[in-house]
Structure 1
């Protein structure tokens, strides 16, 4: 049986026991109250008759029965009692509902009444079990007789039975109300447990817990409480590892801001493959509303770690760009070589030498300047490659004279390439999409006051601070556009921001020039080493 049905049966059993116990207690209480009321009733009648002057006068007359019998019978009928017996101190009856018993001795205990006390007792007499009161009739300090007034148990039972319908009605109402409440509780519980029994609920929990622990993706489920506040209902182990979450309950404010916005957006639709960047990871996020019976009860978010994949793709893109640059240069150098050979064949050797020397001088000057000013070979090679790449796309690429960079002590070569390469790629794309007929990009990489500074300006439309904040925390969708993958411009800036944040730097737009992005990363002041043989005290 389902948990709700088991609970309903248990409630009904408990309810039946409680109602039965209350019924017995009620009957006993009503019987006790009825007996007490009967005792008070017969005592008052017996005392009233015993104190009556007519009773005293009748007992002093020669024939008490002829006087008392008619009177007490009227009183008996009027008061609803079963018998009123007036007797002499020696138990001789003067009155009785059954006239045949007049003159005979009465039974029962009369000692207390002969002593002048009115008392009640339960006694089985000539009319059966009854509750009776015995009161003495006294005059001039003597007991002239006794008055016994009683009601049989049969009459008390009949009077009590007359109250049964009302009592049963009250109990029925109580049972009905309790049953209705139990049914409501059972229905609510059945709706909450989907009609499952405890064993099914246990298995379902075990299976769900096993799935959440073994699933290869991070999973977070959000819900809302009665006040409309967002709460985190489910976080699996993979999500805790990806987001560095502690064990135990997780609050909304422990999650990255981008996930907080997803959870707080009650109108968000299903989205797949949305790139989000945390301080140390690149996550592909999918989220969809959770619906139940046509209404939205929460949001489920899946997380996939693409950090290593993104790094590999970045290295692959760099290698592809180098290959394309080499291919273009090979093609260009082939044209130049044909030109030089043709000049030689035409007998214009001096012009051929001048043509080759001019081109070689220009390239060699740039190479010499970069290799001298930039001590990081990866950066120098990157900038040289970007010069050729920009030229192929019709963009004038300039490395400023201020560019000068010694050995970078904090960032790895890969991190420096990530920062400079993504900024330059974005600038080339922005320059090409701008309205300037002569697109250009200008780059400065330098160390200024123990701060690594990278400035990249372009002729594009620029980027306001709000757009920059969005691009540094959240990548654009990886869905295809016109059958081809969409550009990941926002992801590149997000990767730059990730490196900058890791080393305590900042990424900003230049207020005076909206189309310039500036990266500033502090460099530690490391003490210079002491050469061998150098006096340390000098």
Structure 2
């Protein structure tokens, strides 16, 4: 940048300097020529000069021409007759000789046409600018001679040289100033782009585009005017826009009405895990302000569909349930095996057989009930895992023998169903264990009669005050003070809302709480997915 800007400045000032010098040279020559003609015309009308030329009086004209040349600071004043024979000349030896010996000019415009003119020629006195004017007789009608006034071009060259020196200094000064300015500008510009070279900026731009397209979350960024500056293809797909939808330069409100990006732009407070709706799609968004020199210059938002996050959460919940189930079974059976081994070692074979039979009978009873009442393997596996989890905690999960759950609709997502029942049972385990300790009981009743699937879960906890029942489904609200709680019941309410279901809380005769879940077999909110246009 420094080199290019310096060379451009040098080229521009150099061209301007050459043009100025040439213009000055031509102007000076033209000015001197006009001056010479003006002086020649003035001398040609002097009566004494006219009379002397008519009389061919060189004795008078010779000293007079020298005096006139000295007065007007001219190099020479030459006077000739009608035949171009010199009557006066700075060099007296050339008096009486033809004037065309010097310049080859027969003075035809002046002598034949009677008009003054300017001539540039090299004569016996050197290169000069000459102004020539005809001399008319006393009547003013007949040309009787010619006056030639000359200024040497050496004076013009000295003036041009002086100006050339000045312009050269000006050109070099401008070049130096341009180089210094270019260096300052380059350093300032490089500081603004964090010391990166243009090639590095290009590489980062390509990497930035590739990174944006590799992210599965939608990305949208706006500038300080609220205009969209960046987006990726995932944002178009998440917002159900076409790939050809023009977004760059559009106000964010035309694409996402009610977007909180402008709020973040105004107050500079980041937002995390915020829900917002676009049409019938619920999205989870993070919004972070972009600052430069303590000024907010834009906002970047990343977002994705909430059901994708819920799906990941449900998968993790199921994995956790399976792990808890396997751990509880391993722990329980390990204790039972050690007990049976001890009974056998002390010879208490009958007691060992009774323990084995009791264990087998309890599991067989539950398995038989689940096989008949809950043919769905996913729900049955969840209940069996929770049964073992309760035993590990020292609790008893009792399933009503009259329970039936055989009419599960095919459209009902099984992962959402087991997430609802599993979280409610876990909540019942915690409440019972906190209030009664080991030996407490949790009761589960299920029925699919009518148009709804109904699940009743009773615990032996301390109960839930009426004024607290509406708050327990809020995210982060929990009776426990350890971090990581307050998620289960919030997820239950979210999933029930999606399934058009409801949950009620009632006190029980034992002092605990009864959670009753109603899930319609036909979801009135469920509609076939259709292709939607822009949410704007």
TM-score scaled by length of structure 2:
0.59
Q: CA deviation at 1:38?
A: 2.0
Q: Is the 8 A contact 2:213 2:232 kept in 1?
A: no
* 8 A Cα contact 2:233 2:243, kept in partner: no
In structure 1, what is the Cα distance between the partners aligned to 2:238 and 2:451?
33
Task: Say whether the 8 Å CA contact 1:42–1:132 is kept in structure 2.
Answer: yes
Alignment-derived partner of residue 2 in structure 2? 8
Partner of 1:146: 146
CA distance in 1, matches of 2:472, 2:146: 111
The Cα of 1:411 is off from its aligned counterpart by: 1.6
Is this contact kept in 1: 2:115–2:134, CA < 8 A? yes
Distance in 2 of aligned mates of 1:210 and 1:407: 47
Taking the aligned partners of 1:54 and 1:158, their CA distance within structure 2 comes to 36
In structure 2, what is the equivalent of residue 37 of structure 1? 31
Residue of structure 1 equivalent to 2:158: 158
State the Cα RMSD in Å: 6.6
CA displacement 1:88-131 (0-9 Å, x = unmatched): 12223233344444444323310111121211121111111112
Q: Within 2, Cα distance between the matches of 1:421 and 1:41?
A: 113
- What TM-score comes out, normalization by structure 1 length? 0.58
2: distance between equivalents of 1:60 and 1:508? 137
- Aligned equivalent of 1:348: none
Pick from 46, 49, 53 the counterpart of residue 55 of structure 1: 49
Count of aligned residue pairs for this structure pair: 456
Aligned equivalents of 1:15, 1:395: Cα separation in 2:
92
Q: Deviations over 1:259-314 (max 9, x none)?
A: 96998684669x9xx9999999999x999999999999998989998965861443
Could you say which residue in structure 2 is the equivalent of 1:523? 522
Aligned to 2:134: 136
Q: Is the 8 A contact 2:409 2:521 kept in 1?
A: no
Seen in structure 2, the aligned counterparts of structure 1 residues 34 and 459 have a Cα distance that, compared at 3 Å, is same
Residue 179 (structure 1) aligns with: 179
2:484 corresponds to: 487
Q: d(CA) in 2 for partners of 1:463 and 1:250?
A: 45
Alpha-carbon distance in 1 for matches of 2:36, 2:503: 105
- SS at structure 2 position matched to 1:155: helix
| 8 Å Cα contact 1:455-1:518 kept in structure 2 | yes
8 A Cα contact 1:221 1:232, kept in partner: no
Residues 424-447 of structure 1: CA distance to partner in whole angstroms, max 9, x if unpaired?
64577689999xxxx999999888
Q: Quick check: 91-100 or 246-255, which moved more?
A: 246-255
Deviations for 1:492-534, whole angstroms, at most 9, x for unmatched residues?
Answer: 6358636855x6x588999xxxx99988778258xxxxxxxxx
Q: Counterparts of 1:75 and 1:443 in 2: how far apart (Å)?
A: 136
What is the match of residue 419 of structure 1? 420
Q: Is the 8 A contact 2:14 2:171 kept in 1?
A: no
Structure 1 position 315, deviation (Å): 3.7
Alignment of 1:389-538 (within 5 A): 406-422=407-423, 425=426, 459=464, 462=468, 468=474, 486-490=483-487, 493-494=490-491, 497=494, 501=498, 505=500, 523=522
Partners of 1:456 and 1:120 in 2: CA distance: 122
- Mapped to 1, the partners of 2:431 and 2:276 lie a distance apart of 22
> For structure 2, which runs of at least 5 residues remain unmatched after alignment?
336-361, 506-513, 525-536
Give the match for residue 66 of structure 1.
60
Q: 1:312 to 1:193 in 2, by over 3 A?
A: closer
CA deviation vs aligned residue, 1:54-77 (integer Å, no higher than 9, x gap)? 43233235625425633x445434
Correspondence for 1:21 among 15, 39, 57: 15
